[in-house]
Amino acid sequence: MSVIADKLKTIQDEIAGACARSGRSEKSVKVVVVTKTAALPAIQEVIRHGFVDLGENRVQHLKQVADEVRAFLADNHDDPSIPDKVHWHMIGHLQRNKVKQTLQLCKMVQSVDTLRLAEELNTQSHKLGIHTNILLQINCSSEPQKYGAPVGAAGHLAEQFATMPNLRLVGLMTMAPLTMDKNRVRASFARAREIFEEIHGEHIAGAKFKHLSMGMSQDFQIAIEEGATMLRIGSAIFN
Ligand SMILES: *Cc1c(COP(=O)(O)O)cnc(C)c1O
């Protein structure tokens, strides 16, 4: 087995374990493979293993890697073992002047944390004649983080995002605080889950509001135990 295949297997076993511990179906958890540190051959191998949801945090790099991946898929069009297409997720801070370019590449923008950014995404989606799936990024850690809407603003922002005709608010995204303290990590995921349930319960965004994107290489098992439906994993696969 190659190194990448080995790591993917380990991660899948750990996901299965965390799902079993928390009485969840493995199908309820999707992995977004974060390619920001990866070389193209490694990304190709991950795709060969059937992972088709890929994430990037910088538009510039997203464009480059998405082009390379598109060429790889086109070259292997006749190979039934390789998926026909992949779906890109923007997971990092997004400047409004990069919105248009991002929308041309991405299926989902996970890092929407201000009204102004949502408005620009809506405007540009309208111009492109598309509907864009977005997640509201919230900051659930007890310490101030640079990005993510404050918890207290989440409900109101969700209401505003839900009224924008070319956006579909499909869930929440959060990042754990940078700490080795697993209890604090767990507490921030639990908080995100509460806010997710609140917004879901108020029927602000309807039945399509179903994704809770949390958990990275260091903490995805805790995230699953606290209700994550989407994990964003990079270094555990590629480093
Ligand atoms: C880099 C990144 C990840 C993946 O982190 P790893 O620790 O490499 O798994 C997930 N989410 C965001 C927003 C990132 O920037």
Q: pLDDT tens track of the chain, all 239 residues?
A: 799 999 999 999 999 999 999 999 999 999 999 999 899 999 999 999 999 999 999 999 999 999 999 999 999 999 999 999 999 999 999 999 999 999 999 989 999 999 999 999 999 999 999 999 999 999 998 777 779 999 999 999 999 999 999 999 999 999 999 999 999 999 999 999 999 999 999 999 999 999 999 999 999 999 999 999 999 999 999 99
CA 65/CA 43 separation, integer angstroms: 9
Those residues whose C-beta lies under 8 Å from the C-beta of residue 187, and which sit 6 or more positions away, are: 142
Q: Is the pTM of this model over 0.95?
A: yes
Structure tokens at 188: 């921030």
Cα distance between the two ends of the chain? 16
Q: Is 215 in the pocket of ligand 1 (CB under 6 A)?
A: no
Q: What letter would DSSP give residue 77? A: T
Residue to substitute in 57, 90, 221 for testing ligand 1 pocket (most ligand atoms within 8 angstroms of CB): 57
- Residue 227: CB atoms within 10 Å: 20
CATH number for 177: 3.20.20.10
Number of domains in the chain: 1
pLDDT of residue 21: 97
Those residues whose C-beta lies under 8 Å from the C-beta of residue 203, and which sit 6 or more positions away, are: none
In single-letter form, the type of residue at position 232 comes to R
Q: Is 58 in the pocket of ligand 1 (CB under 6 A)?
A: no
Where in the sequence is the domain holding 166, given as residue range(s)?
A: 3-238
* Percent helix, percent strand, percent coil in the chain, to nearest 5: 50, 20, 35
**Phi, psi (degrees; rounded to nearest 5) at 91:** -115, -5
Point out which residues pair with 41 in neighbouring strands. Answer: none
Atom in ligand 1 nearest the alpha carbon of residue 239: 8
Query: What separation in Å is there between the alpha carbon of 34 and the centre of ligand 1?
Result: 6
Burial of 75 (0-12, 13-18, 19+ CB in 10 A): exposed
**Phi, psi (degrees; rounded to nearest 5) at 65:** -70, -40
Residue to substitute in 216, 219, 220, 222 for testing ligand 1 pocket (most ligand atoms within 8 angstroms of CB): 216
Q: Is 193 in the pocket of ligand 1 (CB under 6 A)?
A: no
